[in-house]
Amino acid sequence: MSMTFVEKLLSNYAGEKNVVPGQIVTVHPDHLLTHDNTAAIIKKIEPELKKYGVFSKSLPIIVLDHVIPAASEKTSTNHKVIREFVKTHNIENFFDVGIGVCHQVVIEKGLGLPGKLLLGSDSHTCSYGAVGAFSSGIDRTEAASLMLTGETWLKVPDSIKIMLNGILKFGVYAKDVVLHIVGDISASGANYCSVEYHGDIDQFSIADRFTIANMGIEMGAKNSVFFVDAVTEIFLDSIGVSSSSYNPIFPDRDASYLQELEYDLSEIVPMIACPHTVDNVKPVAEISGLEIQQCLIGTCTNGRLSDLKVVADILKGKQVNSNVRLLILPASKDILEKALKAGIIETLIKSGGVLLPPGCGPCLGAHQGILAPGERCLSTANRNFKGRMGCKDAEIYLASPATVAASAIYGKIIDPREVMK
């Protein structure tokens, strides 16, 4: 029987010869990701943790990233409770304040690997499809249950095959591709589905694939996946993971899909998601000239070294507009160190950028760059929901790092190709 990626992977984990969409299977994930919400999760199961302990000390990956450094006594107490839990239960994979955004850390530390199954109490857990893993988001209660039993149920999803054909033009990036797709199929266009990317994929680095997989949830997907190729192998080798330590999964050629979509990459232009939904997408040129007060470069969507480099190349020798605050948020300590060595951070700071510690920063509106009523922010993050950055009367636009950098110079939204040519 021919199978898609997700059918093969879930049949492996369910110990069945084959599975079909709609079937419910019991699985034991390789890892369970939690972050600052670990405090609330373990509070639900205090007596059970005392009695039974955690299912396994290698199952959890805990990363402090959402409100770091702590913004209040309440959040610092949460962090303290989590550190004590980690010590008591000898949790193997713990990353304290400053190491990075959880999803970036999972990939950098080689915890998300091809053919593996990871669940996490964060909706952007779907990012690890960038390296050929199955990964998906769950709620806190399910994370608590997994912490104790190591198992849960999953419904085998239908699959959508997306063909990306052709080569991207100058000034157009992976972020523009994924915004284009979300705009085309809508915020619910891939609901409950596994999204597979096929076609001319070798032009996309792991960082690019990360950006696209990360935003799978913004089209409703259960998971998104790119298949292992030379780009994946070289990346994994660079972080010390040899190809003998993972088993990539590929879909069968004649697997059956709920839907097959094709995009000509050479036709995609710089795109922007306008308030207040991620699928309200337009070409940047259509809203050119709109004034902005804050720009954000970073987050799990676009805070990688290649993103910071694009921004530095655009800002070099120029100044951020005096009406704009430009916030720089590297996705991890490792990225920050590399950007420092390459002189990228110096360029960004000299141009007027404000450096934030590696973490989620203002993306979710808890601290570090909350917007004021009437303000407009242009961000490289993944969500522009009303109120997302802490103020319901502010507007958030989402675009590529190049679009955000070019617009920061002018204080107005601008197609980056105007500046880069």
Contacts with another protein by CB under 8 A lie at 24, 36-37, 40, 43-45, 48, 52, 66-67, 72, 74-75, 78, 120-123, 125, 137-142, 144-145, 148-149, 153, 155, 187-188, 191-192, 217, 220, 222, 277, 279, 364-366, 370, 383, 385-388, 390, 392
Residue nearer to another protein on the CB measure, 146 or 409: 146
Shortest distance, position 256 Cβ to another protein, whole Å? 21
Residue nearer to another protein on the CB measure, 251 or 365: 365
Residue nearer to another protein on the CB measure, 262 or 393: 393
On the question of a cis peptide bond just before residue 69, with omega within 30 degrees of 0, the verdict is yes
Q: Helix or strand or coil: residue 160?
A: strand
Shortest distance, position 27 Cβ to another protein, whole Å? 12
Q: How many helices (H) and strands (E) does the chain have?
A: 15, 18
Residues 6+ apart with CB under 8 A from 301: 124, 175, 211, 214, 215, 380, 381, 382
Shortest distance, position 387 Cβ to another protein, whole Å? 4
Residue nearer to another protein on the CB measure, 78 or 347: 78
Q: What are phi and psi of 103, to 5 degrees?
A: -65, -40
Shortest distance, position 230 Cβ to another protein, whole Å? 33
Question: What DSSP line would sit under 242-262, residue for residue?
Answer: -GGG-------TT---SEEEE
* Side-chain-facing half-sphere of 33: CA atoms under 13 Å: 29
Residue nearer to another protein on the CB measure, 130 or 381: 381
Residue nearer to another protein on the CB measure, 7 or 279: 279
Shortest distance, position 288 Cβ to another protein, whole Å? 26
CA–CA gap between residue 292 and residue 311 (Å, rounded): 17
Shortest distance, position 141 Cβ to another protein, whole Å? 4
Structure tokens at 389: 């950055």
Query: Are residues 60 and 32 in contact, defined by beta-carbon separation less than 8 angstroms?
Result: yes
